[in-house]
Amino acid sequence: MTLAKRLSLRDALLGRRSFRLFAPDPVPAELVREILEAARWAPSPHHTQPWRFVVVTDAAWQRRLAEEMGHRWELDLRADGAADEEVAGRVGRSHQRIMGAPALVVCCISMRDMHVYPDAVRQRAEHLMASQSLGAAIENVLLAAHERGLATGWICAPLFCPEIACAALELPGDWEPQALVLVGYPPRDVLLPPRVKPELLVEFR
Ligand SMILES: Cc1cc2nc3c(=O)[nH]c(=O)nc-3n(C[C@H](O)[C@H](O)[C@H](O)COP(=O)(O)O)c2cc1C
């Protein structure tokens, strides 16, 4: 792996932020390839490396994904009883965010090499382990992007409609989309959201 050593680990951890808006500049494909290289070094259950990634930079695919997930969200919001104005606002903002990113990385798991159990409890745990491992891989990608001056935003939408995202991008049947990472360059100023105090997160016994 050839990650450039520009930031200390501490600087990378403390400096990474979530972005929902990006500068219009395109992101070179080589840079996306480099940040995804960082995913391969994440821990995984039984060393199965169950992560799969789809890079979307073509506007037609990007629109197809945004629209199809948006239609599904609209149906869910209407079923929840949301008013027309609220549905249009939330779905519209989500569409703009996805279309406004110069590159998307759809982050998936594959259960192909994971263990198969006859009972639902262990099978659920196995699936959860793959998801946890994907979370670790995604964080690696976010930090590698930050190290290269790229801005990223983690979007949960595919987790709520994996089959829609899978069909929209014509993915292999065993790929389960679980997250979307928006990738671009930071627009301008970066707001730092407050963090929870360590004493509220950690207990010692
Ligand atoms: C599993 C997960 C799902 C997330 N989904 C979304 C999302 O759908 N939309 C969004 O704007 N941010 C999403 N985020 C980003 C969080 O809102 C963000 O990490 C949090 O506000 C802290 O900000 P920071 O990342 O700049 O430290 C998600 C983060 C995680 C870990």
CA dist., res. 64 & res. 166, Å (int): 11
Q: Percentage of the chain surpassing pLDDT 90?
A: 88
> Which H or E run includes 179?
strand 175-184
Assess whether the C-beta atom of 193 lies below 6 angstroms from ligand 1. Answer: yes
> Angle at CA 44, nearest 5°, toward 126 and 199?
90
For residue range 189-198, what is the model confidence (pLDDT) as tens digits? 677 777 888 8
Assess whether the C-beta atom of 131 lies below 6 angstroms from ligand 1. Answer: no
pLDDT value at residue 199: 87
* Choice from 109, 154, 160 to test ligand 1 binding pocket (greatest atom count within 8 A of CB): 154
Confidence class for position 27, pLDDT limits 50, 70, 90: very high
For residue range 2-16, what is the model confidence (pLDDT) as tens digits? 445 578 999 999 999
Confidence class for position 20, pLDDT limits 50, 70, 90: very high
For residue range 35-54, what is the model confidence (pLDDT) as tens digits? 999 999 999 999 999 999 99
CA dist., res. 44 & res. 105, Å (int): 19
Distance 44 CA to ligand 1 centre (A): 22
Nearest-CA neighbor of 39 among 117, 133, 122, 124?
A: 133
Average pLDDT along the chain = 94
The one-letter amino acid code at 25 reads D
User: What's the pTM value of the predicted model, to 2 decimals?
Assistant: 0.92
Assess whether the C-beta atom of 64 lies below 6 angstroms from ligand 1. Answer: no
3-state SS assignment for residue 83: coil
pLDDT value at residue 36: 98
Tell which atom from ligand 1 comes closest to the C-alpha of 157: 8
For residue range 158-185, what is the model confidence (pLDDT) as tens digits? 999 999 999 999 999 999 999 999 999 9
Assess whether the C-beta atom of 123 lies below 6 angstroms from ligand 1. Answer: no
In CATH terms, 14-57+102-186 corresponds, of 3.40.50.261, 3.40.640.10, 3.30.565.10, 3.40.109.10, to 3.40.109.10
Chain centroid to Cα 15, Å, comes to 18
For residue range 129-161, what is the model confidence (pLDDT) as tens digits? 999 999 999 999 999 999 999 999 999 999 999
CA distances (Å), origin 29, targets 37, 101, 165, 174: 12, 14, 22, 25
Q: For the chain, what are the domain ranges?
A: 14-57+102-186
pLDDT value at residue 1: 40
pLDDT value at residue 19: 95
pLDDT value at residue 15: 92
Nearest-CA neighbor of 51 among 108, 1, 106?
A: 108
Assess whether the C-beta atom of 63 lies below 6 angstroms from ligand 1. Answer: no
